Amino acid sequence: MAALPLAAYGQDEEQARRRFRAVRVLTAQCMRQAGFPSYDPGDGFLPPDGPTGETTGAGGVADGGTGTGAGGVADGSAAGAFGYLGAQAGTRGFHTARAEPAGAGARQVPEAEQRAGDDCARRGLERITDAESEPAELYRRLYGESLRATAADARVVAATAAWRECVGRAGVRAEDPQSLAVQYQGAGPDVTPQELAAARADERCTAEVNLAGLWFAVLAGYQREQVARHAGELEPLKRALVEQDRRYARIIDTDG
């Protein structure tokens, strides 16, 4: 499936990662100024995985999500971010919800340093966000509206009911693929037999009722209508994204 229509006006995965790196640079700079010269941004951050970390709400994307998961393709990796699983379901379960084990020898961050790190991260994010354009808010609003409209669409509602009945026959109880995946969030790095069984049922039933394909198709239809209505307002976003990306690169290259 091709990228969703609104994806042309949002950050791609590489831009999202540069934004994340820029926030880390600003956080480290702030921490040095706060008297924590040994602070490692990796102590307090995990890199974004596909979507920009916003993976809740209808379709598994937060209202206003802004990453390639939100505007990406429905292959095994991107679809997994929506709660729809691909070929890895049988071995990794709900892999997008897996907690990564801490690295060997990871430094224990003192509480005072962690609090300062949280504050510096907030300031870095605010500095990045303040520079982002007004049309970006329109983009986030339209994305949220398209997700809500898709979730309420009669075709999606009917397909979700068919999915629910299908997984129910396998002994799995869930309202939709997203709520099923949420059940296993924070479950730790080990995939249990129960999770594997649920993931396999999800994969099979999603394919059987074509829930993912229908969901993406309906979402794309709503977004095409939005782009047609708001093209003049959205077009400046493309130019703004280029400038934002340059700004992230400058922050990274000059260490803040």
Residue 146 in contact with residue 219, Cβ under 8 Å? Answer: yes
Full-prediction pTM beyond 0.75?
no
Q: Which of 138-142, 152-156, 213-217 has the lowest mean pLDDT?
A: 138-142
* 16-37: burial string, b at 16+ Cβ within 10 Å, e else: bbbbbbbbbbbbbbbbeeeebe
In tens, the pLDDT along 93-115 reads 775 544 455 555 556 777 888 88
